[in-house]
């Protein structure tokens, strides 16, 4: 029997990827109805300027399209089936749906002006009443994340790593990161402690069992990205959207 988990921040990964098509409005709504603390999704900037939700640079795995997403006209991209009849959402659509019900983690997946474009959208939402602290912007592409910080310094950012940086947690200070998001298989307790010492919480992705979460909490992790929020939370409203 696993011991009870200490309080953990629960973030729906790509919406609620284990329950609904990833990076879709149905997935985001599913996560929200389960009572997540926040929802994470991946955002790319199309060469035409539109911001859309998609993890891969190519279309085959998650849609009925083919090839590079950036090679498709934006309107073609929008008509693709992203699973169960869901469409590829725009960032605006996702934020309209969430409507301040939970923390929003926008992961920047491209570095073609994505940071500046996302900053512009968030600034517009803040003018409509969103608080800067209701967002976390993250990226593996740290120069792009720095560009976001320059564009909109009041919004917290998180550095993403799939490994343990040689430079240690000092890079987080250089970046101005409020927190760090780590691949679960590379969570190093010394690194996490150093980040925490400087006031920067560490969250881990992708964590799908309470046993895995339990292990990570012993390493200092305080939040998890999960495909299965229902394994950590009780529904707060109706059943998940199918």
Candidates 157, 161, 152, 163; CA nearest to 176 is 157
Q: Which is nearer to ligand G3P, 107 or 144 (CB)?
A: 107
- Using CB under 5 A as the binding rule, the residues of this chain from 125 to 184 that contact Mg ion are none
Q: Which does 225 bind (CB under 5 to 8 A by kind): ligand G3P, Mg ion, none?
A: ligand G3P
Cα 2 to Cα 86: distance, rounded to the nearest angstrom = 37
Residue number of the CB closest to Mg ion reads 107
- Interface pick for Mg ion out of 22, 107, 144, 227 (rule CB under 5 A): 107
Terminal C-alpha separation, the chain: 31
Q: How far is the CB of 235 from Mg ion (least distance, A)?
A: 24
The alpha-helical segments, DSSP class H, found in the chain are 25-33, 74-79, 91-98, 114-127, 142-151, 170-175, 189-197, 210-218
**Which residues between 148 and 207 bind ligand G3P (CB under 6 A)?**
160, 181, 205
Question: What's the number of CA atoms in the CB half-sphere (13 Å) around residue 14?
Answer: 20
Residue with tokens 């593996």: 140
Min dist CB 115 to ligand G3P, Å, is 15
Site for ligand G3P in 3-42 (CB under 6 A): 13, 40, 42
Applying CB under 5 A, which residues contact Mg ion? 42, 107
């Amino acid at each position: 029997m696993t011991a009870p988990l200490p309080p953990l921040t629960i973030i729906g990964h790509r919406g609620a990827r284990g329950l609904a098509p990833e990076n879709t409005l149905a997935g985001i709504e599913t996560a929200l109805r389960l009572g997540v603390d926040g929802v994470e999704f991946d955002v790319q900037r199309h060469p035409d300027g539109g911001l859309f939700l998609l993890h891969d640079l190519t279309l085959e795995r998650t849609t009925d399209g083919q090839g590079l997403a950036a090679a498709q006209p934006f309107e073609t991209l929008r008509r693709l089936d992203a699973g169960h009849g869901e469409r590829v959402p725009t960032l605006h659509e996702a934020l309209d749906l969430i409507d301040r019900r939970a923390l929003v983690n926008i992961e920047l997946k491209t570095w073609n002006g994505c940071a500046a474009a996302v900053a512009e959208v968030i600034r517009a939402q803040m003018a409509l009443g969103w608080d800067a602290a209701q967002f976390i912007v993250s990226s593996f592409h740290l120069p792009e994340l720095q560009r976001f910080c320059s564009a909109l310094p009041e919004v917290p950012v998180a550095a993403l790593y799939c490994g343990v940086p040689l430079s240690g947690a000092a890079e987080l200070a250089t970046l101005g990161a409020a927190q760090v998001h780590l691949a679960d298989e590379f969570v190093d307790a010394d690194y996490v402690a150093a980040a925490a010492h400087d006031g920067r919480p560490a969250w881990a992705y992708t964590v799908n069992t309470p046993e895995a979460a339990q292990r990570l909490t012993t390493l200092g992790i305080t939040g998890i990205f999960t495909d299965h929020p229902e394994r950590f939370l009780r529904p707060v409203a109706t059943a998940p959207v199918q």
